[in-house]
Structures are given as structure tokens and as C-alpha cells.
């Protein structure tokens, strides 16, 4: 590949960042045009070069024809949160051309499809026209695929300009097209033709390039929903019911895809040890999942905010009647239909209190792709141990984007089926047992499961008042005992829930509290602040109700910045509710424009809070 020296003297650059393996790229295309393939190809090619990289889809709630963007961040230090600044912009869509042009930082690079004849009124950037249509025409793509492979032109031209490895680019295509040589070669040929054209016709006048590193060798790359799906399978999932909703659909679809691969039954290979049911709506999805959980299956459903609203009634019943079931909420921006394709962390309050009457629920908060996998299986252990509904709150940013992750680890403990009595157990008790008797004093009773053939095993489950033996009652004492035991069970839950992850620097009064997908932005912000002499401690909460470590952390820091993606500071609200005497130690830093968090936002919150 020809190399051109960056003409630095001619730059009017104000570029702040170093120029090798440290910049962001935005690709503006039309959705439904096949740009997803080309964007993932760039992302994956960089990943296999050993460079830490992330990619985010900023896509519209639409199937075809609206502007969509993909933003790739390359960072040699492994800081992969979104950035406000975009050094390189590729404009393929006339509809967003003007906006895309303004996105480029001074000193940056602007690539554009040259059939777009709009004015380019900037002198402070490198400008690279791309003969996209011509090169697509000249390729051997059939006419109906020409627009699709046209996107590979920018892949090639970018590759030539930045120095993206051709082998890793081929590897990316090979993965995407699952080894099918026809589409791989078709697309690769467009890329190489574009590279040749760029080498011949474009003079590089920007400072950005990539160089191979060795930082990704031990990583895999996948999305959070796939991780959750696989984790669930390693949790022995037996039943999933679901209704399609953005951004959750790919989770049960992933389960459906991997189950036949991973669950080939040794005893009856032509049978299924699982059932996946696409329900008619979320009311049915949660109903089925609860029926299955009640009847002894490891059972789950996945949805987003609007679906959760529909599930409220049955969720309350599962909590009250103590039925194990797992519900993944891959959060998107609400309220209401909201922004279906934008991320948020705004279902905390709703989920925690989901269900009328005095109700609190258990929530898990995975903070990485690896934790999406781990909580995929752990959530079943917790649900069956506590005999209740468990909510796992992920979000669109983790769920639907490709992230670097460590290889998935096999579960480190056997499946915990909880307190279950089968025929022999009932026989040993001579039939003297009660579904809601707190025999161990931990608030958790023993259950039998439909299909248990012992004559004393059966009981009637209901959402109405029931006593220790599951009989209908309206007696005040029975009611109080029941609600008190449910509260005890809930309050004891932190013993078996994931504890917060705490990281400290030297002698600081500043605590940062976060959860979920804000981790990359927070870690980058902490690094930047430390470079300016501002140290911070960080606690990433992983479950609600809170373990004692949460209280200790807040107590130990006079100022705790609670970072979250929602308007009302929902985590701060829950912390205030739980620790009212510590409320003045909490400062809310809540962002809610539907975009993934940036380090600048976190830094800004702390700097202004500290009066700097």
C-alpha cells in the first residue's frame, strides 16, 4: 500500500489528540442501504489489527431511507466510550451531508460520495471525494446489489488512507458472510479496487492513521444481547417466551439460534429440552414465562420499557405468589414509545417498584458484556433460590453494539435449583409441609412443582391472601405475616446478589457512583481527571437491593456523583430512599439525550461540582 507523508505544515489544525490509533470516525449513510456490513467490516478489521476499538449504531426508528450513523472509536489506551469530537467523517447520504460536514473537527478529514453535489464551505479540513457510484458500477456486482456494495468503496478508501490491514479486512468479511466465498470476494474486490483508486488519485493531507498493536489478542467481540443469550443457555434455560421489541429482540433470537447448537440432548437427540415461544404480546409472554417458572422450568422473557409496562400485573403476581422467573429489560429512551433506537437507564424506579401494592423487586445491573453473559446464568440461580421475579437491566448501547470482551467463562458453580421438595422429600416429611412456611427463618419457604405425584404435594397458587399452607385467608394476622415475610426475603437478598465493584485512587473525597454501560465513560473521565490532579473513587453498583458496601462507600465520601442516563436521577433517588441520612452526600449527574455517555460529560459534572 502506498504511503503518503502527512503534510503537517499545511495544516491549520487545532487537533488536540495524537494522530495514531486515537480518533473517532463517523459514517453517515442511509439506513437499509447495507452500510451495516461495511461499518462492521471496518470495526472488525481494526480489532484484528490489535487496536482497541468500539462501534456504535446511531440509527433511526425506521426500516429504510432515513439517515443513520455509525461511530467508531479507535483508542490505543482502550478508552472506548463515545466522544463528542469526530476527526473523520464519511458522508454517503445527501440528506445528512450538511450536518455531517459540520461534524468534522478542524484539522480532520471529510470523505464524501462525489455524486453528492452540495457545497463544501470549509477550508480547515482535508477533503476526499470518492467516486462511489463509478467504482460500484465497475465492480462485478449484479445491478440489484450495486448500491449495497457501493458502501465497500468507502471501506477501501478509508483503509488506504488510514493504513487498515488488508488481511484483517478480509477476515472481517469472511466472518460476516460466514465463509461464503461469493459474497466475500464480491465485496473484497470492491474494496481493493477502491484502494487502488485512492492510492492513485488521493493525496493524504490529514494526520490520522492506524498501526498494528497487540492489545486485542485475548479478546472476543460481540454484543450484549448475544452475551446474555449465551449466558442464559449456560444457565440451563428451558423456556423463553417473548414479543419483538427494539432493542431486546436479538436476545431471545440469539437464544433461539444457539440452543440447537448448544443443547443437543445426549439421551434423545431428536427432541428439544427447551421451548421458545413467540407470544402474541407481552402480556402473554410474561404469563407463559411465569407459568413455566411455576411449573419448575428455568424460564425468562426479554423486553424493553413499553413491554415492561404491559408486564406489570403479572410481575406483581410472580413477586407475591413467589414464582421464579427472569425478565431482561434492554432499556431504551422512554417515557411511552419514546426513542425506540436510543439508549437509556430510565427504568430503574419503575422496575424496582413494579406491581401495585407494597412491592419491591430484585434488579441486576450488568456493567459489561462479560457481565451480560454471567448474569445470564446467575439470574436463574438467584430467581430459583429466592423464588421470585428477577429483573436484569441492560440497555441498547450494550445490547445492540459490538464490544470487546474477554472470552466467556464457564459458570463457576453448579446450578442452584433452590428449595424444592419432590416425592421423596414429601414422603420424608410424611406429608407435613406448607408452601409458604418459613421453616428456615430466612423468609424463603419450600415449594413443590406441578407434576409431583405425591398425594400431599399439590397446593393452590393464587394472587389473593394466603396463609402458610397456601389456603385462602382474609385474616389480618395472616396478611401481615405474609407481607412481612416477603419483605424479609427481599431485604436479605443482598447476601446472594452481586456486590458492587469498587476502585480507589489515593486520598480523595470524591466518589463516583455508576452502573451499567456508563463504565467506559466513567473510567476515561477518572483517568483524565487524575492527570489533572483530581483523584476519584468509583463504585459500580451491580444489584438492588443494595449491599452494605454501598452504604459504606457513600459514608466514606463527602461528595458522591451519581452518574446515570435518565432525567430524574433514578439511582440517586433509590439511594436517597434507602439511606436518607446520607442524601446530602449524593450529587446527581444525569444525562438523558438518548446518546451514550461521554467522558467529557462525566468530567464536566465533577469539575463543576467541585467548583473547578
Partner 1 sequence: MTNTTTSRQVKINQIGLGKSEYKGNPTTLCKGCGHNSISSQIIAACYEMDLVPENIVKFSGIGCSSKSPTYFLNRSFGFNSLHGRMPSLATGALLADHSVKGIAVSGDGDTASIGMGQFKHVIRRNLSMVYIIENNGVYGLTKGQFSATAETGLKLKAQGTNPYMPIDIAWEALVGHATFVARSFAGDPKQVKEIIKAALHHDGIAVLDIISPCVTFNNKDESVHSYAWGKEHEVALHDLSYVPPAEDILVEYQPGEATAVTMHDGSKVFLKKLEQDYDPTDRAAAMHILEEANAKQWLLTGLIFISPEQPSMADIYRLPDTPLNRLPEDRLRPPRESIDKINDLMF
Considering only 23, 170, 239, 320, the residue that binds partner 1 (CB under 8 A) is 239
Told to check if 409 binds partner 1 by CB under 8 A, we report: yes
Told to check if 313 binds partner 1 by CB under 8 A, we report: yes
How does DSSP assign 552-569, residue by residue? HHHHH-SEEEEEESSSS-
CA distances to 293, 548, 571 from 586, in Å: 39, 17, 10
Is the N-terminal amide bond of 247 cis, ω within 30° of 0? yes
Told to check if 255 binds partner 1 by CB under 8 A, we report: no
Told to check if 451 binds partner 1 by CB under 8 A, we report: yes
Query: Toward partner 1, which CB reaches closer, 421 or 521?
Result: 421
Contacts for 236 with CB less than 8 Å, ≥ 6 apart: 298, 377, 380, 415
Told to check if 408 binds partner 1 by CB under 8 A, we report: yes
Considering only 450, 480, 484, 577, the residue that binds partner 1 (CB under 8 A) is 450
**Which one of 108-116, 192-200, 217-225, 493-501 is the stretch in contact with partner 1 (CB under 8 A)?**
217-225
Tell me how far apart the terminal alpha carbons of the chain are, to the nearest angstrom. 48
Told to check if 179 binds partner 1 by CB under 8 A, we report: no
Query: Toward partner 1, which CB reaches closer, 115 or 257?
Result: 257
Told to check if 296 binds partner 1 by CB under 8 A, we report: yes
Query: Toward partner 1, which CB reaches closer, 129 or 291?
Result: 291
Told to check if 459 binds partner 1 by CB under 8 A, we report: yes
Considering only 101, 198, 444, 457, the residue that binds partner 1 (CB under 8 A) is 457
CB contact at 8 A, 590 and 565: yes
Told to check if 297 binds partner 1 by CB under 8 A, we report: yes
Question: 3-class DSSP state for residue 103?
Answer: helix
Query: Toward partner 1, which CB reaches closer, 269 or 507?
Result: 269
Considering only 293, 307, 334, 340, the residue that binds partner 1 (CB under 8 A) is 293
Told to check if 28 binds partner 1 by CB under 8 A, we report: no
CB contact at 8 A, 523 and 79: yes
Considering only 51, 90, 132, 233, the residue that binds partner 1 (CB under 8 A) is 233
Told to check if 376 binds partner 1 by CB under 8 A, we report: no
Tell me the C-alpha distance between 103 and 87, whole Å: 8
Query: Toward partner 1, which CB reaches closer, 308 or 586?
Result: 308
Strand order in the sheet with 510-514: 501-503, 537-540, 510-514, 559-564, 586-590
Backbone angles phi, psi at 91, to 5 degrees: -110, 115
Residue 491 CB, shortest distance to partner 1, in Å, is: 27
Residue 499 CB, shortest distance to partner 1, in Å, is: 24
Query: Toward partner 1, which CB reaches closer, 105 or 321?
Result: 321
Residue 151 CB, shortest distance to partner 1, in Å, is: 19
Told to check if 290 binds partner 1 by CB under 8 A, we report: yes
Told to check if 19 binds partner 1 by CB under 8 A, we report: no
Told to check if 469 binds partner 1 by CB under 8 A, we report: no
Told to check if 241 binds partner 1 by CB under 8 A, we report: yes
Residue 283 CB, shortest distance to partner 1, in Å, is: 6
**Which one of 129-137, 400-408, 482-490, 576-584 is the stretch in contact with partner 1 (CB under 8 A)?**
400-408
> If you search the block for the grid coordinates 405425584, which residue do you land on?
453
Q: Could you give the angle at the alpha carbon of 489 between the alpha carbons of 484 and 492, nearest 5°?
A: 120
Backbone angles phi, psi at 265, to 5 degrees: -70, 130
Considering only 59, 70, 294, 352, the residue that binds partner 1 (CB under 8 A) is 294
Report the half-sphere exposure of 359 (CA within 13 A, side-chain side): 24
Closest to 115 (Cα-Cα) out of 138, 146, 92, 98:
92
Compute how many other C-beta atoms are within 10 angstroms of the C-beta atom of residue 314: 26
Compute how many other C-beta atoms are within 10 angstroms of the C-beta atom of residue 203: 9
Question: 3-class DSSP state for residue 298?
Answer: coil
**Which one of 146-154, 455-463, 492-500, 576-584 is the stretch in contact with partner 1 (CB under 8 A)?**
455-463
Considering only 76, 99, 146, 263, the residue that binds partner 1 (CB under 8 A) is 263
Query: Toward partner 1, which CB reaches closer, 41 or 246?
Result: 41
Told to check if 458 binds partner 1 by CB under 8 A, we report: yes
Angle between helical axes of 519-531 and 599-609 (0-180°, round to 10): 50
- List the interface residues with partner 1, window 118-177 (CB under 8 A): 172, 175
Tell me the C-alpha distance between 125 and 173, whole Å: 31
Told to check if 446 binds partner 1 by CB under 8 A, we report: no
CA distances to 68, 70, 311 from 30, in Å: 6, 11, 35
Amino acid at each position: 500500500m502506498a504511503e503518503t507523508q502527512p503534510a503537517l505544515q499545511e495544516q491549520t489544525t487545532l487537533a488536540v489528540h495524537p494522530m495514531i490509533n486515537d480518533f473517532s470516525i463517523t459514517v453517515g449513510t442511509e439506513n437499509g442501504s447495507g452500510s451495516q456490513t461495511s461499518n462492521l467490516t471496518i470495526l472488525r478489521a481494526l480489532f484484528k489489527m490489535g487496536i482497541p476499538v468500539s462501534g456504535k449504531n446511531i440509527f433511526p426508528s425506521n426500516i429504510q431511507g432515513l439517515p443513520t450513523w455509525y461511530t467508531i472509536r479507535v483508542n490505543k489506551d482502550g478508552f472506548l466510550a463515545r466522544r463528542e469530537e469526530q476527526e473523520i467523517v464519511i458522508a454517503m447520504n445527501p440528506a445528512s451531508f450538511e450536518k455531517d460536514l459540520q461534524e468534522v473537527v478542524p484539522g480532520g478529514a471529510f470523505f464524501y460520495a462525489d455524486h453528492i453535489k452540495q457545497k463544501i464551505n470549509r477550508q480547515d479540513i482535508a477533503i476526499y471525494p470518492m467516486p462511489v457510484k463509478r467504482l460500484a458500477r465497475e465492480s462485478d456486482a449484479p445491478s440489484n446489489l450495486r448500491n449495497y456494495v457501493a458502501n465497500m468503496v468507502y471501506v477501501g478508501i478509508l483503509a488506504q488512507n488510514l493504513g487498515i490491514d488488508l488481511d484483517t479486512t478480509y477476515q472481517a468479511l469472511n466472518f460476516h458472510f460466514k465463509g461464503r466465498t461469493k459474497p466475500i470476494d464480491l465485496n473484497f474486490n470492491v474494496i481493493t479496487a477502491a484502494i487502488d483508486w485512492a492510492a492513485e488519485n488521493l493525496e493524504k493531507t490529514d494526520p490520522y492513521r492506524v498501526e498494528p498493536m497487540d492489545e486485542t489478542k485475548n479478546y472476543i467481540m460481540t454484543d450484549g444481547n448475544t452475551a446474555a443469550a449465551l449466558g442464559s443457555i449456560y444457565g440451563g434455560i428451558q423456556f423463553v417466551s417473548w414479543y419483538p421489541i427494539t432493542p431486546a429482540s436479538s436476545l431471545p433470537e440469539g437464544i433461539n439460534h444457539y440452543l440447537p447448537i448448544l443443547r443437543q440432548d445426549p439421551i434423545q437427540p431428536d427432541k428439544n429440552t427447551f421451548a421458545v415461544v413467540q407470544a402474541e404480546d407481552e402480556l402473554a409472554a410474561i404469563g407463559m414465562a411465569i407459568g413455566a417458572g411455576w411449573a419448575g422450568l428455568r424460564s425468562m422473557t426479554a423486553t424493553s420499557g413499553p413491554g415492561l409496562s404491559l408486564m406489570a400485573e403479572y410481575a406483581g403476581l410472580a413477586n407475591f405468589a413467589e414464582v421464579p422467573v427472569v425478565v431482561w429489560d434492554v432499556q431504551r429512551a422512554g417515557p411511552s414509545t419514546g426513542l425506540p433506537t436510543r439508549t437509556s437507564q430510565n427504568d430503574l424506579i419503575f422496575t424496582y417498584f413494579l406491581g401495585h401494592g407494597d412491592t419491591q423487586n430484585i434488579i441486576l445491573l450488568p456493567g459489561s458484556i462479560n457481565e451480560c453473559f454471567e448474569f445470564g446464568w446467575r439470574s436463574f440461580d438467584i430467581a430459583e433460590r429466592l423464588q421470585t421475579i428477577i429483573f436484569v437491566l441492560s440497555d441498547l448501547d450494550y445490547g445492540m453494539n459490538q464490544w470487546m470482551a474477554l472470552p466467556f467463562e464457564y459458570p463457576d458453580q453448579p446450578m442452584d435449583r433452590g428449595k424444592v421438595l419432590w416425592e421423596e422429600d414429601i414422603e420424608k416429611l410424611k406429608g407435613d409441609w406448607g408452601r409458604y412456611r418459613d421453616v428456615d427463618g430466612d423468609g424463603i419457604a419450600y415449594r413443590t412443582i406441578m407434576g409431583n405425584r405425591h398425594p400431599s404435594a399439590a397446593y393452590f397458587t393464587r394472587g389473593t391472601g394466603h396463609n402458610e399452607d397456601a389456603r385462602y385467608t382474609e385474616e389480618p394476622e395472616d396478611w401481615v405475616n405474609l407481607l412481612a415475610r416477603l419483605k424479609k426475603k427481599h431485604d436479605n437478598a443482598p447476601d446472594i446478589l452481586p456486590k458492587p465493584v469498587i476502585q480507589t485512587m489515593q486520598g480523595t473525597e470524591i466518589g463516583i457512583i455508576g452502573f451499567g454501560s456508563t463504565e467506559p465513560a466513567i473510567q476515561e473521565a477518572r483517568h483524565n481527571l487524575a492527570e489533572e490532579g483530581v483523584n476519584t473513587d468509583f463504585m459500580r453498583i451491580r444489584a438492588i437491593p443494595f449491599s452494605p458496601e454501598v452504604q459504606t462507600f457513600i459514608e466514606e465520601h463527602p461528595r458522591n456523583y451519581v452518574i446515570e442516563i435518565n432525567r430524574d436521577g433514578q439511582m440517586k433517588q433509590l439511594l436517597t430512599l434507602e439511606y436518607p441520612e446520607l442524601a446530602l452526600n449524593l450529587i446527581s449527574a444525569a444525562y438523558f439525550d438518548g446518546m451514550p455517555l461521554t467522558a467529557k460529560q462525566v468530567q464536566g459534572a465533577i469539575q463543576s461540582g467541585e467548583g473547578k
